Amino acid sequence: MIGKLLKRFATVGRARTGEDGSIVVEGARKATGGKGKARIVMTMAVFFGIFSTISGRLVYLGFQTPDLSGGPQSRVTASRPDIVDRNGEVLATDIKTASLFAEPRRIVDADEAIEKLSTVLPEIDYEQTYHKLKSGAGFVWLQRQLTPKQQADIMQLGIPGFGFRTEKRRFYPSGETSSYIVGLTNIDNQGISGMEKYIDEQGLSDLQASGLAVAKDLRPVKLSIDLRVQHVVRDEIAAGLERYRAMGAGAVVLNVKTGEVVAMASVPDFDPNNPYNAQDKDRLNRMSAGLYEMGSTFKSFTSAMALDSGKATMSSRFDASHPIRVGHQAIHDFHGKNRVLSLPEVFLYSSNIGSAREAELVGIEAHREFLHRLGILEKMQTELPEVARPTEPKVWKQVNSFTIAFGHGVSTTPLQAAVGCAALVNGGFLMQPTFLVRSQEDAMAAAKKVVAEKTVEGMRYLYSLNAEKGSARNARVPGYRVGGKTGTAEKVINGRYSKELNFNTFVAAFPMDDPQYLVFTIADAPHPEKPGMTDVAANNAGVMAGNIIRRAAAMLGVKPDFSHENGATLVSYQ
């Protein structure tokens, strides 16, 4: 085309006859210059611009990634901070993984593609996948979070229209050990339970949505958990679950000086790396999300209340010679002494009648106020999202106060009961539990004084006495001066008390001369370990607590003291 134009412009001009009769074209050279030349340059520039634009566009497109219309938002692969224990051991971290997608518009034969894919992913749903591949969409997910081997095997299939996108998923090195504390993320790496959910609620989800959750800018979240102690706790309750053929078991270790949860576990649990059964009915964090009547461990609060009210002393005596009758109900002792008991004897012999008399002495309103003061009947304030709200009678009558005195008629969580007991031995300060590292100074700044120092001295004595001569003997550990209290309660099933199954608890503190740590264990519907044994708390929850202290005390930095023969723990009380 350009050649024809040049020929045309070259012959433009006026024609005349020369002297020899030839035809002369005038202005031909002139036509190739001037306006004609400008037109040639302009035309060439236009065509050069068109070809340059096309070439540049092709080069640009060659460096672009495919247009995945309908693909996931950037938040899918947003980073999360590592979660570590108090010593820096990793509890949760991000790892890269490949996810399989398809571009249905490029799929030639959906049946053949699914047939090939099923050789690597046999669990894939044929019908669902077929509808995806025949949808005509620009992008569909087929399988998220593949293993490296699965990715390599699918690539070997060479199926047109299939591709991979690199995502981030959560990996939990400790597995089941701390599953209820650390929690879970969903397929989009968003926290849905435990501390993972708490971290999102503190602003991480907003950072992810804005694209500012960059891995290098996210500092690890340090928990109060000691992974070594956590392993001991989980190991002991898992062994107890099997040994006592229980429905469930759990334990918590509290630092009574700071309110830090050093370890907490509940079984049955789940593997957060493969949480296929995490939603099963029996997989519940019984320590913070389970509501139970605590039984005789509640007598800790009743005796403390009597002492703190000023209406009773260690010398006070309570008539337990006969049952208390209220209407058609009668309150009995399990192994009654059938006589008048001193306050320490009420605690030592775990007398229901004596505890009811203590509550009667203080009064109904003061009884209710004391339990609320210790946070036993309030919803607990802590970082862990899975926290149940305690229950109590709407109107407290005399019979309610009597039964609540020995742990029946109100329901609370084991963790709350543990926190309340900690206040009875740490100097009288209620500290809301925390799963984050907290100093003693910070803890005291937020603590609330709930009982007098004299009450604390009395409770340390009672716990020590019970370990020396009472039901807490199975939890004694030589050298660590352990004190505690058992609780054996009839399990509530469908609103009725069972005569066959118990919910057992045990609270232990050590060393009793100046308690540093508290252990609270539970055994849900345990059975006797051996023929001839009973299923009371001393034989299961108490044993688990003793084993935890025996294995973990040194890790917690508590030095043994063998000056007391046979591990005696009795603390003097004036």
Active site residues: 296
Separation between Cα atoms, residue 258 and residue 430, nearest integer Å: 10
Integer CA distances (angstroms), 233 to 249, 262, 285, in order: 11, 10, 14
Q: How far is CA 282 from CA 176, 180, 285, in A?
A: 15, 13, 9
Positive or negative CA dihedral for 27, 33, 34, 39? positive
Q: Which residues contact 243 (CB under 8 A, 6 or more apart)?
A: 529, 540
- Coil/strand/helix, residue 509: strand
* Among 545, 532, 535, CA closest to 466: 545
> Looking at residue 436, what DSSP letter applies?
B
Euclidean distance between CA atoms 353 and 318, whole angstroms: 8
Distance between CA atoms of residues 162 and 156, nearest Å: 11
CA–CA distance, 440 with 442 (Å, rounded to integer): 5
Question: Quick one: DSSP state of residue 441?
Answer: H
- H-helix or E-strand spanning residue 486: strand 483-493
Distance, CA of 468 to CA of 39 (rounded, Å):
113
Q: Which two tokens stand for residue 427?
A: 């100097």
Residue 439 buriedness (CB in 10 A; 0-12 / 13-18 / 19+): exposed
Q: Within 13 Å of residue 273, how many CA atoms lie on the same side as its CB?
A: 15
**Beta-bridge mates of residue 324:** 331
Question: Please, which residues have CB within 8 angstroms of residue 83's CB and are 6 or more apart in sequence?
Answer: 90, 91, 92, 93, 182, 195, 196, 199, 220, 221, 223
Of the candidates 62, 18, 12, the one whose C-alpha atom is nearest the C-alpha of residue 37 is 12
Residue type, 196: E
> What is the per-residue DSSP string for 302-343?
HHHHHHHTTS--TT-EEE-SS-EEETTEEE--TT---SEEEH
Task: Give alpha helix (H) positions in 24-109.
Answer: 28-32, 34-62
